[in-house]
Structure 1
Amino acid sequence: MHTLLPTAIVGSLPKPSWLAEPEKLWSEWKLDGADLTEGTRDALRIAVHEQVRRGIDIVSDGEQTRQHFVTTFIEHLSGVDFERRQTVRIRDRYDASVPSVVGAVERPRAVFVEDAACLRAATDRPIKWALPGPMTMVDTLYDAHYKSRERLAWEFAAILNQEARELEAAGVDVIQFDEPAFNVFFDEVKDWGVAALERATEGLHVETAVHICYGYGIAANNEWKATLGSQWRQYEESFPLLQQSTIDIISLESHHSHVPLDLIELVRGKKVMIGAIDVADPSIETPDEVADTLRRALHFVDADKLIPSTNCGMAPFPRDVALAKLSSLTAGAAIVRDEVTDRDI
């Protein structure tokens, strides 16, 4: 792996059309049972092949094994009833029908560990696996049992820690927790959100990351972003807390966003996974556009701590668009890597 500017993707890649309906977020599986397991593993291997072929250094499964980045994990837990649904406001932005917590939440068995072992067997590059963060899990359910967002978050944190420890044992090098809720519920982030996230990472020896984005390019998110003004300063709330936390890598959205890059200064000392690829716009970034984002980020983070990445997942894109964006990401990183290397010689 490159010692400087190793590339990675945040989350999803498009699924093959034989596995799920293409260009649709959270589309239903076309397979079930043993066929679904075989199909998702095949799709995982394809995702690995495409990432390696395009020069991605830290490889993921492209979320080929998940229909949804939160609920696919929750489906494997006891205490949650998917038939008993309620409408709740997600991320304080849009209403959604969600399952209910009806009893003590527990993890009867590992959720993604066999999939992660398949990923580990598919490449000798460092691998990253994503899990939902505790606060975002809480925000994607109706709680009819604990009646406390904080208490439920702590229960989820313990469950996530069990899963993360087994993922580490399966050979995962980086475990990423997705916490878009950190951009919304600032008081909770301060009161218990970061602490619950740290509980999820307790005892791990691999690198840990937290991904805080502004969401997929769906209408509800785009409409919310339109209300945020000329500067998106939400990270100002969570970054100082994360800088003091045990989390190793902070993943943030940048390209085509209104996030002031100087906010990265608030996590000085941490590794930064910077989004240099827009996931709300199908136009392909040029390598020079990617390089420009990285150069600007380097004013606020040392080169040996910068990981060029995507803003979020790319599941809704046509496959050729997503893969072309990967190629631009690695080409742009190569431009800046050469510049930094030449400067240091």
Structure 2
Amino acid sequence: MNALIPTALVGSLPKPSWLARPEVLWSPWELEGDTLAEGQHDALRAAVQEQERRGIDIVSDGEQTRQHFVTTFIEHLEGVDFENRETVRIRDRYDASVPTVVGAVGRRQPVFVADAAFLRQQTDRPIKWALPGPMTMIDTLADRHYRSREKLAWEFATILNQEAKELEAVGVDIIQFDEPAFNVFFDETKDWGIAALERAVEGLRAETAVHICYGYGIKANTDWKATLGAEWRQYEQSFPLLQSSSIDIVSLESHNSHVPIDVIELIRGKKVMLGAVDVADHDIETPDEVADTLRRALEFVDADMLIASSNCGMAPLPRQVAFDKMSALSAGARILRDELARVPA
């Protein structure tokens, strides 16, 4: 792995069309049974090979074995009824049909551990695995049992900690928790959201990351972004709290966004996984554009603490667009890496 400014993807990659319908969130599987399981692993293997070919240093699964970054984890838990669905407002932004919590939640068996072990077998590079964060999980459910967002979040945090420890045991180097809800529910983030995340990472030796973004490049998210004004300062709510947390890496959206680059100063001392390619349009960044986004961050984070990444997951994008954005990301990081190598010590 490149010691300076390694590259990584935040989360999802588009699935091949033979596995799931392209460019759709919550896309139904095209296969069933054992054929589905085989196809998911074939797609995961292909995602790894494409990441390596495109110069990604910290390899992930591209979420090829899951329909959605939150609900696929939840559907393996006890106490959640996927037949009894309700329509809820997700992150105060869009309506979705979601499962219902009808009893005590629990984890009867590992959810992603076998897939993570398979990923570990496919590459010698460091690997990263993403889990949904506790607050984002409760925001993707209807709760008819606990009737308390905080109580349910703590239950999920304990379950996530169990899963994370087993992911660590099969060789995952970085465990990432996706918490886009931190950009919306500021009071809850302060009151118990960060604490629940700390519970989820308790006792881990693997590096831990939290990803907070402005969402996939879908219409509901782009419409919301259009209401946020000339500067997006939501990170100012969570970053000071994360700076004093035990989380190792903070992942944020940057390229083509209205996030002021100086918010990175609020997490000084943490590793920064900076979004340097946009996932909300199909235009492929040039390597120089990527390098410029990364370069501007160096005023606020040391180069050896900077990871080049995507703004968010790329599941809704055309597959070739996602691949080309990976190439741009690695080429841009290489430009900056070469620049820094020429600077006298």
**Same fold, TM-score > 0.5, yes or no:** yes
2:190 maps to: 190
Rounded Cα–Cα distance in structure 2 between residues aligned with 1:237 and 1:6 = 27
**What one-letter code is carried by the residue in structure 2 that aligns with 1:275?**
G
Rounded Cα–Cα distance in structure 1 between residues aligned with 2:304 and 2:319 = 31
**TM-score computed with the length of structure 2 as normaliser:** 0.99
The answer on whether the counterparts of 2:79 and 2:103 sit within 8 Å (CA) in structure 1 is yes
**What one-letter code is carried by the residue in structure 2 that aligns with 1:331?**
A
2:125 maps to: 125
Rounded Cα–Cα distance in structure 1 between residues aligned with 2:106 and 2:59 = 29
Gaps (5+ residues) in structure 2?
Answer: none
The Cα offsets for residues 92-115 of structure 1, whole Å up to 9 and x where unpaired, read as: 111111110000000000000000
**TM-score computed with the length of structure 1 as normaliser:** 0.99
Rounded Cα–Cα distance in structure 2 between residues aligned with 1:113 and 1:37 = 14
2:167 maps to: 167
1:344: Cα distance to partner?
Answer: 4.0
1:316: Cα distance to partner?
Answer: 1.4
Secondary structure, counterpart of 2:211 in structure 1:
strand
**What one-letter code is carried by the residue in structure 1 that aligns with 2:60?**
S
1:87: Cα distance to partner?
Answer: 1.4
Secondary structure, counterpart of 2:246 in structure 1:
coil
Secondary structure, counterpart of 1:118 in structure 2:
helix
Aligned pairs (5 A) from 1:108-187: 108-187=108-187
The Cα offsets for residues 7-57 of structure 1, whole Å up to 9 and x where unpaired, read as: 000011110111001122221011122111111111000000000001100
2:297 maps to: 297
Rounded Cα–Cα distance in structure 1 between residues aligned with 2:242 and 2:33 = 40
Secondary structure, counterpart of 2:325 in structure 1:
helix
Rounded Cα–Cα distance in structure 2 between residues aligned with 1:27 and 1:83 = 18
Rounded Cα–Cα distance in structure 1 between residues aligned with 2:312 and 2:56 = 15
Q: After alignment, is 38-47 or 314-323 more displaced?
A: 314-323
The Cα offsets for residues 129-187 of structure 1, whole Å up to 9 and x where unpaired, read as: 00000000000000100010000000000000000000000100000000000000000
1:214 aligns with 2:232: no
Secondary structure, counterpart of 2:343 in structure 1:
helix
Secondary structure, counterpart of 2:299 in structure 1:
coil
Q: Which segments of structure 1 move beyond 2 Å, counting only runs of 4 or more?
A: none
The Cα offsets for residues 55-96 of structure 1, whole Å up to 9 and x where unpaired, read as: 100000001011000000000000000111111110011111
1:320: Cα distance to partner?
Answer: 1.2
1:277 maps to: 277
The Cα offsets for residues 295-318 of structure 1, whole Å up to 9 and x where unpaired, read as: 001111000000000000111111
Q: How many residues align?
A: 345
1:29 maps to: 29
2:333 maps to: 333
Rounded Cα–Cα distance in structure 2 between residues aligned with 1:237 and 1:86 = 30
**What one-letter code is carried by the residue in structure 2 that aligns with 1:193?**
G
CA-atom RMSD in angstroms: 0.7
2:77 maps to: 77
**What one-letter code is carried by the residue in structure 2 that aligns with 1:157?**
A
The answer on whether the counterparts of 2:253 and 2:274 sit within 8 Å (CA) in structure 1 is yes
Rounded Cα–Cα distance in structure 2 between residues aligned with 1:32 and 1:199 = 36
1:200 aligns with 2:200: yes
Rounded Cα–Cα distance in structure 2 between residues aligned with 1:223 and 1:87 = 20
2:256 maps to: 256
Q: Percent identity?
A: 77
2:41 maps to: 41
Rounded Cα–Cα distance in structure 1 between residues aligned with 2:54 and 2:344 = 27
Secondary structure, counterpart of 1:276 in structure 2:
strand
**What one-letter code is carried by the residue in structure 1 that aligns with 2:101?**
V
The answer on whether the counterparts of 2:218 and 2:316 sit within 8 Å (CA) in structure 1 is no
Secondary structure, counterpart of 1:88 in structure 2:
strand
2:95 maps to: 95
Gaps (5+ residues) in structure 1?
Answer: none
Rounded Cα–Cα distance in structure 1 between residues aligned with 2:279 and 2:55 = 19
